[in-house]
Amino acid sequence: MIYNIILHTSRFVFRLLSLFNSKIKLGVIGRQETFNRLNKSININDKTIWFHCASLGEYEQGFPLFVELKKKYPNHKLVLSFFSPSGYEVKKANSIADVVVYLPIDTKDNCKKFLDKIKPEIVVFIKSEIWPNYLNEIKKRNIKSILVCAIYNSSQMKYGLLKKAVLKFDYIFTQDEKSKDLFKSIGHNNVFNSGDTRFDRVSLSKTLNEDVDYIKEFLSEKDCLIAGSTWGKDHEILTSYINHSKSNLKFIIAPHEINKEEINNLKSFINKKTILFSGLNNENIKTASVIIVDNIGTLSKLYKYASLAYIGGGFNGEGKLHNTLEAAVFSLPIIIGKYYSRFPEAVNMIKSGGMFSVNNAESLKNKIDELIGDKEKLQKTGALNSSFINSKIGATQCILANLK
């Protein structure tokens, strides 16, 4: 009851906030178009599979499973929904799905209307997307429902609403044994520790081997540090190193937030020739030392050109570190900030010796210089990361093997 009151109130709150926040505005406007998009793409006799992701990261995480289910059910249309603009705006015209929409707010009326329209035979939710009213309605209709890449702790299951909701899933596939045991302890019987499909995703991305224009010319056979998904605190220590570095090392920085003002601000703090990715051409690429990536979707294609990587978010507090696997699969040594304990993959790669945590600009400088100055160590530490990735591949096949 309280949950439903909050949902109805949130619609008005979002509309108000949309007047001041461009991201929220995208979501509000986009949700108004959800059923129009469905009406244009889904016919009454279509068979469908519905995938739901919070944002772009969860889409990438679920992608290997999407591909395999598409192969298994070639005559089904794939409906992909997002909660966040960061996923929808990037994938609305470029995804594996037949139609991409914003998920309508989790009210009872919206749930019935949405399910009446798409009539899915299978529903797949990724990681932490738990919507009680949708799950109640899915269960009532006897639609097969699957939660994949789930990772939870006991404190989260203290909330009765969440606990009741997860029990509605027919199958739950977890990233680790602790989460599996947790779901079993609250009474779910079809729980499997499949591992994390992100390892399958980055392995798949590597096989695509997509080239990016101008990058080989930019590098000119020199070593390159690529800094991915960076924030302001990352920029402070990175620009300090760049500005004082006397080596021939090249740099590519891909900020997490693509904001014109912030990108120009970052550029102004760098005293070496710096160009934006959107402005690359045959002339300026020859003399540039730094590229700032000012778009979304290119970062994962750039790691293959680098000698080592810095991944951002590790100075923003616990739980903020960004995707380290995209760099690890290309056998790159990885440097991160000091907060990483909530990321098992980071903990494991640090233990194995392929990843390094730094506390400040000085420790960053020392670690970069140490790695760049020793080619053999550079290669060996990077190889530890790709070996770690290879040891974790297989979650997608585990999920498929256990679905009945």
- The three-state DSSP-derived secondary structure of 109-128 is HHHHHHHHHHCEEEEEEECC
What's the whole-number mean pLDDT along residues 66-84? 96
User: What is the per-residue pLDDT for 41?
Assistant: 96
Judged against a pLDDT cut of 90, whether residue 146 lies above it is answered with yes
pLDDT of 296 reads: 83
- The answer on pLDDT for 302 being more than 80 is yes
Write the CA distances from 152 to 179, 183, 274, 289, 392, integer angstroms.
5, 9, 42, 43, 19
Whether the predicted pLDDT of 404 surpasses 80: no
Q: Please compute, for residue 170, the number of CA atoms within 13 A of its CA located in the half-sphere on the CB side.
A: 17
Confidence tier at 155 by pLDDT (50, 70, 90) = confident
Query: pLDDT, tens digit, for every residue of 187-225?
Result: 999 999 999 999 999 999 898 878 999 999 999 999 999
**pLDDT digit string, tens, across residues 350-379:** 999 999 999 999 999 999 999 999 999 999
Residue 399 neighbours by CB under 8 Å, 6+ apart: 65, 146, 148, 173, 192, 194, 197
DSSP string, 57-70: HHHHHHHHHHHHHH
Average pLDDT, the chain: 94
CA distance to 77, 99, 119, 145, per residue, from 44 (Å): 12, 15, 9, 21
Rounded distance between C-alpha atoms, residue 319 and residue 308, angstroms = 23
Global pTM? 0.90
Domains, the chain, ordered by start = 2-195 (3.40.50.11720), 210-391 (3.40.50.2000)
Helix, strand, coil share of the chain (percent; to 5): 50, 15, 35
Of the chain, the percentage scoring pLDDT greater than 90 comes to: 82
2 pLDDT tier (thresholds 50, 70, 90) = confident
Q: What is the pLDDT of residue 161?
A: 86
pLDDT at 119 over 80: yes
